[in-house]
Structure 1
Amino acid sequence: MLVMPWLWAVFTVIAAAAQTARNAMQRSLTERLGTIGATHVRFLYGLPFALVFLGVVHMAVPAPAPAVSGTFLVWTLFGALSQIGATALMLAAMRERSFVVTTAYTKTEPVLVALFGVVLLGDHLSLTAWLAILVATSGILLMSWKPGTEQSLRPALLGLVSAALFGMAAVGFRGGIRTLDTPSFVMAATTTLAVGLAIQTAVLTAYLAVTDRAGLLAILKAWRPSLVAGFLGAFASQFWFLAFALETVAKVRTLALVEVIFAGLVSGAIIKQATSPRDGLAIALIVIGVAILLSFG
């Protein structure tokens, strides 16, 4: 299947924009549904859309459905459970820090995901790619740490552990995609998305049914805003998975740092939280790192 070498970057930017909108929507649902409830929204209401995407792909792509192996299920289960934990911790951090700063904490992910990808998937990264990752991540650290002000350790730890789990989720999903025997990267990515969301929906629905039936009922009652969050989540994940099918997770997640810029726009325009000149310098470093990655990585 002929693929343009820059296509993964287009997929990544689209995914980052959709994920920013999804995160903002989920953040607004956290106060209403709680952290676990808001986490479940992206899976429960995202699954129907993922199944629609899969149906469209089956009709449009002239390739048979790939066989699902035990290895595929292990990788996808690993990715799905890691993403549940990452999303819950991210939303918990957002309750204590600003939207853009919490997004920055979670975006310390590229260095971690690069290491995970090299160790677990055998991904190869050039020295230039490592330089791009480090420059962009330094911008994230600059944005996250504010000298001269009181720092709260809890949201920082929540954000950093969330970043590690998001990194493991990306590696797990790319591992799952790579095990599928199909000539179509679109088919592999969409199949993995549908199976991953099905696992996540089953796990969290069962958990809430046992521990918080009132919370589960509240999620069902809040179907209108949840449906929007679910669609945005499935749409973003579709493009993340397409990018993972074409490029190493380290490069994808480094370019994904543009989400911090998108979050800054959302923060100023919608959530009304200020972004300082220091944050502007941090964003400049992120842009430089991304530019190095796209030009030379």
Structure 2
Amino acid sequence: MPLWIPLTIAAAFLQNLRSTLQKQLTGEMSALGATYVRFAYGLPVAALYLWGLLAFTGAAMPEANASFLAYATVGGLAQIWGTVLLVALFAYRNFAVGTTYSKTETIQTALFGIIVLGDHLSFGAFAAILISLAGVLAISIAQSKLTLGTFWRSLGEKPTLMGIGSGACYGVAAVCYRAASLSLERPDFLVSAAYTLVIVLLIQTAVMTVWLRLRHPAELSASFRTWKVSSLVGVTGALASMGWFTAMTIQNAAYVRALGQIELVFTFASSHFLFREKTNALELTGIALVIGGILLLIFAR
């Protein structure tokens, strides 16, 4: 089995765990604050990981070039803006439509990968991405109690455009992270991915620290006050990012993000079997499509 597959599955599982921990911060800070602690508390963990890799392998510290810094900066900022747009959606009555459209991230990642890196997608992989995307949309529509008519009629509305914009930002971020790591032109992909992660987290932490200090100082205070849970969010987030960045260094970002939708299967399994939440037919159809798309991606790629 190619290494990127277990790395992506592990990253998706850890991301699901990180999201669960972030929910514990709901009463203490906004979604932006919870996003900040993921970067700020994850940075020391990622830096320690990089140091350990260099010490264990005896490799030299990578040297950042202009292309690397450009890709890392654009990717880091794009991820922040993707989060900002997603959070801003909740101010609208029909926010569910926008959040559903944000799930188009995978197909947008594929398009950006083709444009920026010239990545090639086989017919089977493209079909797998479309199938899993249909599953994700079905799950989102079912959970937000939208109708298909409402979903399609909302095209052109502001929340829809914000949702698509959020998905585009996440797609740009994924492709830029892969491009940044590859621009280092090193054979040791683990070190390249780790170094890219550290620099991206450093940029994101610096930008959000200044932003929160100027615009939302209470969120910054809350991030220190909740250090126990926030540190767990940072650790799990950093571990997940190690998997994402390494997998995207090895493989096409679109493949990685598509396989990463297995996170929805983990979420479904925990809510259905652990919390005994009821599941409707559309959700089950969506899960089946996601699993089918993932299997097609792995075996027909």
> TM over 0.5, yes or no?
yes
Out of 124, 130, 150, the residue aligned to residue 134 of structure 1 is 130
Paired residue for 1:79, among 75, 86, 89? Answer: 75
Aligned residue among 48, 70, 74 for 2:44: 48
Residue of 264, 285, 291 corresponding to 1:260: 264
- Give the counterpart letter for 1:10 in structure 2: P
- Where do residues 240-279 of structure 1 align in structure 2 (5 Å cutoff)? 240-268=244-272, 274-279=278-283
Partner-residue secondary structure (3-state), 1:136: helix
Q: How many residues align?
A: 291
**Which has the larger displacement, 155-164 or 176-185?**
155-164
Q: CA deviation at 1:23?
A: 1.7
**Closer/same/farther in 2, CA of residues 186 and 95 from structure 1, 3 Å limit:** farther
Unaligned runs of 5+ in 2: none
Identical-residue share of aligned pairs (%): 37
Partner of 2:14: 18
Instruction: Say which is worse superposed, 265-274 or 149-158, in terms of deviation.
Output: 149-158
**1:206-250, Cα deviation, whole Å (9 max, x unpaired):** 111112222211111110110011111111000000101100011
User: 2:23 maps to what in 1?
Assistant: 27
User: 2: distance between equivalents of 1:265 and 1:156?
Assistant: 29
Deviation at 1:27, TM superposition (A): 3.1
| 1:62 matched residue in structure 2 | 58
TM-score, length of structure 2 as denominator length:
0.87
Give the distance between the partners of 2:102 and 2:170, measured in 1 at CA. 8
Q: 1:66-122, CA deviations, whole angstroms, 9 ceiling, x for partnerless residues?
A: 21111100000011011112234445668999xxx9986544211110000000111
**Change beyond 3 A, Cα 1:108–1:201:** same
Partner of 1:200: 204
SS of alignment partner, residue 116 of structure 1 = helix
| Cα distance in 1 for residues equivalent to 2:77 and 2:276 | 33
- The aligned amino acid for 1:217 is S
Task: Give the Cα–Cα distance (whole angstroms) in 1 for the partners of residues 262 and 55 of structure 2.
Answer: 33
Structure 1 gap segments, 5+ residues each: none
Q: Report SS of the residue matched to 1:33.
A: coil
Q: What corresponds to 1:226 in structure 2?
A: 230
| Paired letter, 2:300 | F
Q: Name the aligned partner's letter for residue 147 of structure 1.
A: T
| 4, 7, 31: which one aligns with 2:3 | 7
Distance 1:198 1:160 in 2: 27
- How much does 1:46 deviate? 0.6
Question: What residue is the counterpart of 1:289 in the other structure?
Answer: 293
Distance verdict in 2 for CA 1:23–1:105, change over 3 Å: farther
Task: Provide closer, same or farther for how the CA distance between residues 46 and 281 of structure 1 changes in structure 2, counting only shifts above 3 A.
Answer: same
Question: Which residue of 210, 218, 232 corresponds with 2:214?
Answer: 210
Structure 1 residues 171-180 or 207-216, which shifts more? 207-216
Scaled by the length of structure 1, the TM-score of the pair is 0.88
The answer (yes or no) to whether the contact 2:8–2:256 under 8 Å persists in 1 is yes
Contact kept? 2:92, 2:159, Cα under 8 Å: yes
Paired residues of 2:89 and 2:99 also in contact (CA < 8 A):
no
The answer to whether the 8 Å contact 2:131/2:292 transfers is yes
Q: CA deviation at 1:142?
A: 1.7
RMSD between superposed Cα atoms in Å: 2.7
User: Matches of 2:259 and 2:107 in 1, distance apart?
Assistant: 12
Whole-angstrom distance in 1 between the partners of 2:245 and 2:169:
16
User: 1:185 is matched with which residue: 180, 184, 189?
Assistant: 189
* Aligned-partner Cα distance in 1 for 2:13–2:102: 15
SS at match of 1:67: coil
How has the CA–CA distance of structure 1 residues 241 and 66 changed in structure 2, closer, same or farther, with 3 Å as cutoff?
A: same
